[in-house]
Amino acid sequence: MSAYPHLAARLFNTPLMVLPAKLDAIIAGLGGRLLGVDGLTLPAAQSAAPEMLSTRRSEQHPGGWRLDNGVAVIDVRGALVHRSRLEADSTSLLGYDTIAAAFQSALSSDDARAIALVIDSPGGEVQGAFELASRIHAARGQKPVIAIADGMAASAAYLIASAADEVLATPTSYTGSVGIVMRHVDMSRALSKEGLQVTHIFAGAHKVDGNPYEPLPGNVRHALQADIDDLYGDFVQAVALHRGLPEHAVRDTQAQVYRGAAALPTGLIDRISTVDDAIAQLAALVAAPAPKKAMAAPNRKGNTMTHPEATAAPAAQEQALQAAREQGHAAGLSEGIRQGTQAERERTAAILGHERAAACPDLARQCIATGLTAEQASAILGAAPAPAATASAGFAQHMAALNPAVSGIEASSPADETAALAAQVLQHARHA
């Protein structure tokens, strides 16, 4: 059995931006081999991340991405590390440098008019995560970039996603976990039972801080916690910048993980979609217009000689003009995505800010998830009965009157009145 002590330094006593459950799975999958201790039993592992769910056909590009109707699709799968790409027993490890290289390749390719990051990752190492996110964020305006959680975009993986123009999630994907975690293993009692004792011979008071062969001293724990707190502040600040959110809103998530539409009210994602639909919509958005034919120069009598100098300058000018058009087109698309994202955030905030939203949270969330406008949601929330009368009703009862025929039935209870009002509002919206 192979030993992996070189991985221990990347898992223990080092800040990580990873979902804690997945960290436990990685450690358990590698077991005692991490520290060269046979028979060491750690928490049970969970299964590795599934393959990306997409039925669309695409062409593999040597730059590390797939081309799908003008969209460069970059798969971000597995635990994320600073450099290298290798397989461990419990998960695949993907380097930030590999993702950055693929992103840069797609950004500079004329074939790719937009970029989609399809993510299924619990996060990973701190080193390299912020740099990659900054690279993606700095590219805004060059080409439209979306990120979609296809299974999971947690912690460092979410940091990367947040840097895109728009963040999407499939209905059952998990997003969030904006936090930092560190693991320390104390093997002193296990070694004592085996009759083993480790003696450190070192220079420098902090040279062996956090070693696994003795309990963690209080002053060392305090220093490690201070480092974690600083990194957490950086994480919150970066997400707030990328998403246009106040920092307190990001902190209020308390590193929680959200499934599907539950992340919408937090502002961590913009909308729900499948991978196929997201790529198809992005491809339609950036569909290149038909190239304009160059106007032929008039054939003046008496001028039968062709001068290369006379034709080279207009050709160069036309190329520069076309490049400017393409850059402006990409910038306009990115701005359109930004404006649409901002409008969605404003719609969500308006619904959640309704005076009845706190009393009817399930109804408010369903109004958001079903795409109601702020005005429609306001009418429904305003007519909703008191919470005690609707505790067992749920959104299904409020929306049961979607059939236009119901609007003519006289309501006999507060819940029926709300359902009838919802039907009238939605029917009016259809014909508006």
Identify the band that residue 239 occupies on the pLDDT scale cut at 50, 70 and 90: very high
Nearest to 348 by CA among 267, 407, 243, 413: 267
Nearest to 431 by CA among 409, 407, 411: 407
The pLDDT mean for the chain works out to: 76
| Residues 13 and 27: beta-carbon distance below 8 Å | no
What is the average per-residue pLDDT within 208-228? 93
State yes or no: pLDDT of 290 exceeds 80: no
DSSP H helices in 353-393: 361-369, 374-383, 387-390
Measured CA to CA, the distance from residue 89 to residue 26 in angstroms comes to 8
Q: Which of these ranges, 110-119, 311-320, 378-387, has the smallest mean pLDDT?
A: 311-320
| Residues 191 and 144: beta-carbon distance below 8 Å | no
Strand, helix or coil for residue 418: helix
What pLDDT score was predicted for residue 217? 94
What pLDDT score was predicted for residue 382? 83
Q: Does 92 participate in catalysis according to the annotation?
A: no
> For 89-128, how does the pLDDT look when each residue is reduced to its tens digit (9 = 90+)?
445 789 999 999 999 999 999 999 999 999 999 999 999 9
Higher-pLDDT residue of 48 and 186 is: 186
Burial track 263-296 (b if 16+ CB lie within 10 A, e otherwise):
bbbbbbbbbbbbbeebbbebbebbeeeeeeeeee
Higher-pLDDT residue of 41 and 187 is: 187
Tokens of 275: 């991978």
Domain ranges of the chain: 1-199+212-288+330-352, 355-431
What is the average per-residue pLDDT within 206-231? 93
Measured CA to CA, the distance from residue 231 to residue 233 in angstroms comes to 5
| Residues 57 and 44: beta-carbon distance below 8 Å | no
Higher-pLDDT residue of 365 and 304 is: 365
State yes or no: pLDDT of 302 exceeds 50: no
State yes or no: pLDDT of 180 exceeds 80: yes
Identify the band that residue 406 occupies on the pLDDT scale cut at 50, 70 and 90: very low
State yes or no: pLDDT of 26 exceeds 50: yes
What pLDDT score was predicted for residue 295? 42
- Superfamily, domain 1-199+212-288+330-352: 2-enoyl-CoA Hydratase; Chain A, domain 1 (3.90.226.10)
Identify the band that residue 318 occupies on the pLDDT scale cut at 50, 70 and 90: low
> For 128-158, how does the pLDDT look when each residue is reduced to its tens digit (9 = 90+)?
999 999 999 999 999 999 999 999 999 999 9
Element (H, E) at 130: helix 129-138
Range 316-320 contact pairs with CB under 8 angstroms and sequence separation of 24 or more: 318/294
What pLDDT score was predicted for residue 319? 57
Which residue in the list 54, 90, 121, 155 is annotated as catalytic? 155
What pLDDT score was predicted for residue 32? 52
